[in-house]
Amino acid sequence: MKKDGFIIKKHSCLLLVLLFVFAFTGCSNDAADSTSEKSEKAGQTESSTIGTDTQGETEAGQTEQNDSGKTAVVYFSATGTTEEVANQIAEETGADIFEIVPEEPYTSEDLNYSDDNCRANKEMNDEAARPAISSDLSVVSEYDVIYLGYPVWWGTAPRIIQTFLENSDISQAAVYTFCTSGGSGIEQSVEDLQGLYPDVNIVSGRRFGQGADADVKEWIEEHISSKQ
């Protein structure tokens, strides 16, 4: 009897152990399931946050760029070189693009800087010159990131850029300058603009040569990764 009792006890112990093991395994599976459920949900939240760009774009590159807000490219170009770079930046970022169009277009005579009396030189020599703009750029006040582009004239930004900055409410935006030139860097123009317009957040600048495709891509990628 003692032996039988021992066997019964032994069996019930075994049963208890088995029950315990099942119960424990079941629990840990539940825990694992709920953890993976949570991380799935977290993943969904994360991706929906990334997907919530202000312009509703779906392409990955554009979404990343627009995470920090609406992006615009605003440029002035007298002979098309800066325009080409501006188009490339807009393409890379998915930004909206706006041209600073002079009310009076610049002729090649106006731009003949070897002539002291050409219009461009006269404007650059006159601190008060503010060539009028014919395009309506009021909408740029809605943008959080602005790529502002221009050709270098006599080491700095053309006066029409001052017209733009003085007539636009862009104190909310991070303004990344870019330029094209025959060789001069952008630094002087950025320093000048920062000194003249301390209320505008002019954060950095980059010069491009002609046909700057690869450089533009690299610059934009740097920007996007520095904002992540």
Ligand X SMILES: Cc1cc2nc3c(=O)[nH]c(=O)nc-3n(C[C@H](O)[C@H](O)[C@H](O)COP(=O)(O)O)c2cc1C
Least Cβ distance, residue 76 to ligand X (angstroms): 7
24-54 core/surface letters (b: 16 or more CB in 10 A; e: else)? eeeeeeeeeeeeeeeeeeeeeeeeeeeeebe
Assess 211 for contact with ligand X (CB under 6 A).
no
Complex with ligand X: residue 98 or 153, whichever CB lies closer: 153
Assess 180 for contact with ligand X (CB under 6 A).
yes
Complex with ligand X: residue 43 or 80, whichever CB lies closer: 80
Q: Which of 82, 93, 168, 189 binds ligand X (CB under 6 A)?
A: 82
Complex with ligand X: residue 68 or 188, whichever CB lies closer: 188
Positions 29 through 58 that interact with ligand X (CB under 6 A)? none
Assess 88 for contact with ligand X (CB under 6 A).
no
Positions 105 through 164 that interact with ligand X (CB under 6 A)? 111, 113, 120-121, 151-155
Q: Which stretch binds ligand X (CB under 6 A): 31-39, 88-96, 129-137, 175-183?
A: 175-183
Least Cβ distance, residue 85 to ligand X (angstroms): 8
| Chain residues in the site for ligand X (CB under 6 A) | 77-83, 111, 113, 120-121, 151-155, 180-184
